Homo-oligomer: A and B are copies of this chain.
Amino acid sequence: MSRPVSSEPAESSDRLAEQLLRLTRRLHHAQKAAFRPLGLTPAQSRLLRTVGAHGRHGEAPRMADLARQLEVVPRAVTTLVDALEERGAVRRAQDPDNRRVVLIELTDEGHAILGRLRQARQSAAEGILEGLTQEQRVQLGGLLSTLVDEPENGS
Contacts and interface: CB of A to CB of B under 8 A. Distances in A.
Interface of A: 1-2, 9-27, 31, 46, 56, 71, 115, 118, 121-122, 124-126, 128-129, 131-132, 134, 136-141, 143-149
Given A140-B140, A143-B139, A25 B122 contact: no
A21 B9 contact: no
A84 B49 CA distance: 39
A129 B147 contact: yes
A9 to B, nearest CB: 6
Contact of A144 (B9, B23, B124): B23
Contacts of A121: 14, 17
